[in-house]
Amino acid sequence: MYIPDCSDGTFCPIEARSLKPQLLSMMGFSPRQIQEHYKIYQSYITKTNEVRMKLRSIDMQGSNSIHSSYRSLKIDESQTVANGKLHEMYFDNLGGNGRTAIGKVLEIIVKDFGSYEFWERDFRSTGLASQGWVILGYDFDDCHLHNYTQGAPDVVPIVRFEPLLVLDVCEHAYFLDYGTNRNSYIDAFFRNIDWYTVNSRLQNLKSTY
């Protein structure tokens, strides 16, 4: 998704990924909900390009940690890039056939959480408690899977951690279909997880598994 400036020093804008057609026919999600959510993802890509263009021309001399235009733009860049990447992972891990976890990821979930059922309860509860994102991921330091929350203003981004399954719990992800009923939205999410994508992410890790 994200590419550096071109070798000749010119600005290289990033582009949004295409929406997978099968996401428009998922059980529990209306086409309109998915399309409107996809537009929000596109807006993060657009804003990332706008911010990076401004960063190429802004005066850095007045930069400071209390308030400055440069500080504001760098915060905006961090937010738009993070949300763009997480939206891509969210859409990528949707479109499954309603099966429960399969393959290596199921084996490791059971090993690290004790049972699939406990992991699912923890993931769902994290979804109800979160203000932005729920991420099942691999921690490179303790070599275990964890369910973490990200996106709230008081939550510091986790490093040395690779997302495997991503859930967006912002209201824009479900409000058209479910109003404020986040529980039902999470039910629909679980019915549509693409566990093949989750397993593929796991296989790509440089881990001891």
Res 3: pLDDT: 46
Closest to 56 in 3D by CA, of 43, 73, 68: 73
Model-level pTM?
0.91
Domain boundaries defined on the chain: 30-92, 103-203
Res 33: pLDDT: 99
> Which residues define the annotated binding site?
37, 87, 168, 172
* Radius of gyration of the chain, Cα coordinates, nearest whole angstrom: 18
More confident residue, 97 or 126: 126
Going by pLDDT thresholds of 50, 70 and 90, the confidence category of residue 154 is low
Res 206: pLDDT: 60
How far is the first Cα of the chain from the last one, in angstroms, to the nearest whole number?
27
More confident residue, 3 or 34: 34
> Which residues define the annotated binding site for Mn(2+)?
37, 87, 168, 172
Query: What's the CATH architecture for 103-203?
Result: 3-Layer(bab) Sandwich (3.55)
